Amino acid sequence: MEITTALIKELRERTGIGMMECKKALTATNGDIEAAIEELRKKWLAKAASKADREAAEWAIKIVIESGKAYIVSVSCETDFLANSGRYQDMLNDVVALLKAGKTAEDAKAMIDKDYSLEMGENLQVRDFQVVEGTSVGAYVHSNNKLAAVVVAKVSTPEEKLKQVAMHITAANPEFLSASDISSEVIEKEKSIQLEIMKNDPKMAGKPDEVLLKIIDGKMSKFASEISLLEQAFVINPDQKVKDFIGADTLSAFYRFSI
| Cα 132 to Cα 201: distance, rounded to the nearest angstrom | 46
| Cα 29 to Cα 13: distance, rounded to the nearest angstrom | 18
Please report, for the domain that includes residue 39, its CATH number: 1.10.8.10
pLDDT tens digits along 62-116: 999 999 999 999 999 888 889 889 999 999 999 999 999 999 999 999 999 888 8
Please report, for the domain that includes residue 127, its CATH number: 3.30.479.20
Q: Is the pLDDT of residue 242 over 70?
A: yes
Give residue 64's pLDDT: 97
Query: Are residue 65 and residue 44 in the same domain, yes or no?
Result: no
Query: Are residue 103 and residue 42 in the same domain, yes or no?
Result: no
Identify the domain containing residue 94 by its residue range: 54-133
pLDDT tens digits along 30-64: 888 888 877 776 666 445 444 555 556 688 999 99
Report if residue 164 sits inside a domain. Answer: no
Query: Are residue 126 and residue 62 in the same domain, yes or no?
Result: yes
- Are 56 and 99 within 8 A, CB to CB? no
Query: Are residue 65 and residue 115 in the same domain, yes or no?
Result: yes
Number of domains in the chain: 2
- Cβ-in-10-Å burial (0-12, 13-18, 19+) of 143 comes to exposed
Q: Which secondary-structure segment (H or E) carries 152? A: strand 147-153
Q: Is the pLDDT of residue 25 over 70?
A: yes
Query: Are residue 96 and residue 111 in the same domain, yes or no?
Result: yes
